[in-house]
Amino acid sequence: MATQHYDALVPGSGQASTPLASHLKGLGLSACPVQRSHIAGCCVNEGCTLTKTMVASGRVAYLARRARECGIHPGHGDIKVDMQKVRQRKRDIVTSFRGNSDRRLKDAGVDVLMGEANFTGENEVLIELSGGGEKKLSADKIYINLGCQPSRPNIPGLASLDQSRVLDFTSIQELGEVPGHLVILGGGHIGLEFGQLFRRLVAKATIIYRASKDPELPISISVTTNPKTTLSVRASHILATGRIPNTETLGLDMVGIKTTPLGHIITTPTLSTNVDGVFVLGDVKDGPAFTHISYDDFRIIRNNLTTQNYKTQGAVKTTNERATYIPSVEYTDPQFAHIEPKFGDLKTFAKGRNLGDETKRLLKAVVDEGTGQILSFSALRS
Ligand SMILES: Cc1cc2nc3c(=O)[nH]c(=O)nc-3n(C[C@H](O)[C@H](O)[C@H](O)COP(=O)(O)OP(=O)(O)OC[C@H]3O[C@@H](n4cnc5c(N)ncnc54)[C@H](O)[C@@H]3O)c2cc1C
């Protein structure tokens, strides 16, 4: 099989891939992103955009339920949630956003190869083409931007349950009806956002801690807490919110690229790996997993290759500069934004300050008394 050579290959169409491939093309280099499913990665197809679209439906349901209390009479009877319509709205927005990314790549003159990338040598990748067949590519530089996929926790009994009731962050967004009682394994931003959303759509939602005595519900979970007590929860559905990097079948062993025990690719502060010419951007490396981090990875790479022959000029950028201050937001309602609240007292935020109807808001900064430097900042606000 003939090998096609590029200046740069970008396996994965994540949040860094589109701007990076477009930038490389603008430098006059040949760059080829390789994507196994949909253009635009997790953020647009399975992550940020979708959850926020559904969170918006949840907020409308919540406000509609409170309408009479505020002197508004929307009509007769209780509000109803049409989950299929909620899902369709989400699907339409995904299609539109995906189309925008596709257009941006086309406008930049970048061709995307649809298929699954696997390493076969240090600068060689075999693509199993989505339409059938294979293609061998090689490149001077390879920029891996493969992201993560849902992971299943290793809980005894999980495999013997009705699998249509065991959800992950992708399949939960395809539900055609509101579950009776959703148990969420994990209280990170994904768990919190889905927890509040489904509660507002009138499911019961438990982020692993409270027992339900409803005998009709088919799933029973025991949780051992610390200090040690065993709690039991009965539920209709389980949502596992974990994520693992997309490296399992990538053939990293073939080239000796080092990973952590969980499979994240180990990088230097300039995002290079232990193999010359191979760089990593986004969630597939170890560290905070957010869209803005992936985009910032692109900015670091862009800064460090300023000429066509990849020579750096000026100051080299690294991940060290952002390491102390990484912003993130829980898109619950109210939203909770923070920049490393290592010193923050989260209990204060839980109480918040009730300003009338529904808005709880609080800003908190921890400032170094001597230097005046802001050490952490958090904002709770609708
Ligand atoms: C439910 C949910 C909500 C989220 N909400 C937010 C939020 O509000 N804010 C925020 O900042 N972040 C959020 N995130 C995280 C955010 O989606 C990711 O951090 C972001 O998408 C990272 O992108 P990435 O560049 O690493 O790659 P990704 O966007 O994950 O894209 C990688 C792409 O590579 C493809 N791929 C994988 N393996 C191969 C292969 N071998 N060959 C070819 N292609 C391959 C995958 O199909 C995927 O499309 C959320 C995530 C989830 C799951």
Q: In terms of domains, do 207 and 135 share one?
A: no
pLDDT grade, residue 219 (50/70/90)? low
Q: In terms of domains, do 127 and 263 share one?
A: yes
Of 322, 343, 362, which residue sits at a domain end? 322
Pocket lining: 172 vs ligand 1, CB cutoff 6 Å = no
Distance 148 CA to ligand 1 centre (A): 6
Atom from ligand 1 closest to the CA of residue 15: 25
Tens-digit pLDDT profile for residues 284-295: 998 899 999 999
Ranking 25-39, 46-60, 329-343, 352-366 by mean pLDDT, the lowest is 352-366
Q: In terms of domains, do 10 and 107 share one?
A: yes
Mean pLDDT in residue range 99-121: 93
Mean pLDDT in residue range 340-368: 58
pLDDT grade, residue 308 (50/70/90)? very low
Q: What is the pLDDT of the chain when averaged over all its residues?
A: 85
Distance 292 CA to ligand 1 centre (A): 11
What's the DSSP call for residue 216? T
Please indicate, yes or no, if residue 97 is contained in any of the structural domains: yes
Pairing of strands 3-11, 31-35: parallel
Distance 243 CA to ligand 1 centre (A): 10
Please indicate, yes or no, if residue 180 is contained in any of the structural domains: yes
pLDDT grade, residue 97 (50/70/90)? very high
Closest CA to 353 of 379, 374, 376: 379
What's the DSSP call for residue 208? S
Please indicate, yes or no, if residue 327 is contained in any of the structural domains: no
Check residue 362 and give its pLDDT.
Answer: 79
Q: In terms of domains, do 217 and 89 share one?
A: no
Distance 283 CA to ligand 1 centre (A): 7
Amino acid at 166: V
Tens-digit pLDDT profile for residues 159-205: 888 888 999 999 999 999 999 999 998 888 899 999 999 999 988 89
Of 241, 267, 287, which residue sits at a domain end? 241
CATH number at residue 207: 3.50.50.60
Tell me whether the omega of the peptide bond preceding residue 227 falls within 30 degrees of 0, making it cis. Answer: yes
Closest CA to 302 of 105, 173, 141: 141
Q: In terms of domains, do 10 and 93 share one?
A: yes
Domain count, the chain: 3
**Across 177-186, 324-333, 334-343, which has the greatest mean pLDDT?**
177-186
Amino acid at 275: V
Q: In terms of domains, do 344 and 362 share one?
A: yes
Q: What pTM was computed for the model?
A: 0.88
Q: In terms of domains, do 250 and 226 share one?
A: no
Please indicate, yes or no, if residue 65 is contained in any of the structural domains: yes
Please indicate, yes or no, if residue 329 is contained in any of the structural domains: no
Distance 36 CA to ligand 1 centre (A): 13
Q: In terms of domains, do 143 and 162 share one?
A: no
pLDDT grade, residue 213 (50/70/90)? very low
pLDDT grade, residue 376 (50/70/90)? confident
Q: In terms of domains, do 105 and 163 share one?
A: no
Mean pLDDT in residue range 68-85: 85
Q: In terms of domains, do 142 and 198 share one?
A: no
Q: Residue 29 is part of which domain span? A: 3-149+244-322
Taking each helix axis as running N to C, give the angle between helix 189-200 and helix 48-65, from 0 to 180 degrees, rounded to the nearest 10.
40
Pairing of strands 335-339, 374-381: antiparallel
DSSP codes of every residue in 38-55: -TTHHHHHTSHHHHHHHH
Best of 146, 285, 295, 330 for a ligand 1 pocket test (most atoms within 8 Å of beta carbon): 146
Pocket lining: 19 vs ligand 1, CB cutoff 6 Å = no
- Find tokens 């559904």 and name the residue: 54
SS3 state of residue 203: coil
